[in-house]
């Protein structure tokens, strides 16, 4: 006699015990998990709770990860990843997001999740925040949409300041800690505007950057005026103010030199060169290719570079990768295993990636 274990049937049988309609719904979903950039970032005040008030134009971009969610039969989430530095327990924002979803809805559903990582960590691109937002969306879809988009946005603020923006339509003016999200419709910039993302191996830890920040050194630019200027005139250097650049450059002086090299080496092909978030990604807007020195100089051979475009979503749908990103997805797979803990100063030419021998799973 031969016994065959069918995990899909097992999960369906388990789910049907507490949800008779479960069989009529899918038990898994595969989603694109995008990242973001800050076209400008003003730090406007210090809050009593120790955080800072921000005013920023966020825009979702088509550099992203892949997440597959499957209804799990147990009482614990199980997470695997292609990147061995990714934490697989409660330190991962995906698990935190699923815990928030269960706490808010009272639905005792757990999941098996696989994360195919492509967005570098410590980059100022919100890759982990995008994963958390995607997890909230997936859990809501797989349990019959018990929550509205507005509720998901509200709950996402409990996870992290960069998570709520992903529940906008893709372009948003965010204030408070980032949890006050004002959709910008139509998007303030053309979606086909090309950009290049350039991130050195070294990362800027956000607490270290804010430790160097002082309000006295911040820009006096009116964030609403910056938003109006970008909407009317496009992305220009003078509009892409980031109050965290100078503190980040103090934490990581080589990042300042890299930005200066990109600005001069671009020979005018970028309309703006700026740091996203708290770093350490430098964004060049206007061309998808990095300057030639990135290719020519050995010390930059392992710097992460990626072409990207702006991304939006339909109101009742999640983000989908652009056709260009879809066609190239996996082409940069060798770049997906960025290390988390790296020196804050030193050579830029250290190898980013070590491919894991196998995925890991934690039960």
Cα gap 143→22, rounded to integer Å: 8
Cα gap 218→45, rounded to integer Å: 10
Q: Which helix (H) or strand (E) holds 110?
A: strand 110-116
CB 183: neighbour CB atoms within 10 A?
Answer: 15
CB 354: neighbour CB atoms within 10 A?
Answer: 13
Is the distance from CB of 192 to CB of 308 less than 8 angstroms?
no
- Give one DSSP letter per residue of 293-321, joined into a string: HHHH-GGGTT-EEEEE-B----TTS----
Is the distance from CB of 160 to CB of 54 less than 8 angstroms?
no
Cα gap 171→153, rounded to integer Å: 14
Q: Is 36 a catalytic residue?
A: yes
| Residues present in the chain in total | 363
DSSP state, residue 353: B
Cα gap 20→77, rounded to integer Å: 22
Cα gap 159→97, rounded to integer Å: 6
Is the distance from CB of 70 to CB of 27 less than 8 angstroms?
yes
Query: 36, 96, 117, 259: which one is catalytic?
Result: 36
- Give the up-direction half-sphere exposure of residue 69: CA atoms within 13 A in the CB hemisphere: 26
Query: 62, 116, 162, 337: which one is catalytic?
Result: 162
Bridge partners of 56?
A: 41, 174
| Catalytic residue ranges | 36, 162
């Amino acid at each position: 006699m031969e016994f065959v274990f069918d995990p899909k049937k097992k999960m369906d049988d388990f789910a049907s015990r507490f949800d008779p309609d479960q069989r009529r719904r899918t038990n898994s979903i595969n989603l694109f998990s995008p990242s973001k950039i800050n076209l400008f970032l003003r730090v406007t005040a210090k809050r009593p709770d120790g955080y800072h008030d921000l005013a920023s134009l966020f825009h979702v971009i088509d550099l992203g990860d892949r997440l597959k969610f499957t209804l799990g039969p147990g009482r614990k989430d199980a997470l695997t990843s292609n990147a061995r530095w990714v934490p697989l327990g409660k330190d991962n924002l995906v698990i935190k997001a699923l815990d928030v979803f269960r706490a808010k809805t009272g639905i005792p559903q757990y999941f098996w999740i696989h994360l195919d990582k492509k967005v570098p960590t410590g980059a100022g691109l919100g890759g982990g925040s995008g994963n958390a937002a995607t997890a909230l969306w997936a859990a809501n879809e797989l349990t019959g949409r018990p929550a509205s988009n507005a509720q998901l946005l509200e709950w996402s603020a409990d996870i992290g300041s960069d998570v709520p923006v992903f529940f906008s339509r893709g372009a948003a003016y965010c204030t408070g800690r980032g949890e006050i999200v004002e959709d910008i419709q139509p998007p303030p910039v053309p979606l086909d505007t090309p950009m290049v993302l350039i991130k050195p191996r070294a990362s800027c830890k956000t607490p270290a950057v804010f430790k160097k920040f002082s309000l006295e050194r911040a820009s006096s630019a009116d964030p609403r005026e910056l938003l109006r200027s970008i909407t009317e005139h496009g992305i220009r250097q003078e509009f892409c103010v980031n109050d965290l650049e100078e503190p980040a450059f103090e934490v990581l002086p080589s990042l300042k030199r890299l930005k200066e090299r990109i600005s001069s080496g671009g020979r005018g092909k970028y309309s703006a060169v700026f740091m996203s978030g708290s770093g350490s990604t430098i964004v060049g807007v206007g061309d998808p290719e990095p300057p030639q020195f990135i290719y020519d100089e050995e010390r930059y051979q392992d710097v992460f570079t990626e072409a990207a475009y702006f991304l939006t979503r339909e109101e009742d749908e999640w983000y989908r990768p652009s056709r260009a990103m879809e066609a190239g997805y996996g082409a940069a797979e060798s770049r997906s295993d960025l290390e988390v803990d790296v020196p804050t100063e030193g050579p830029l030419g250290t190898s980013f990636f070590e491919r894991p021998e196998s995925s890991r799973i934690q039960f």
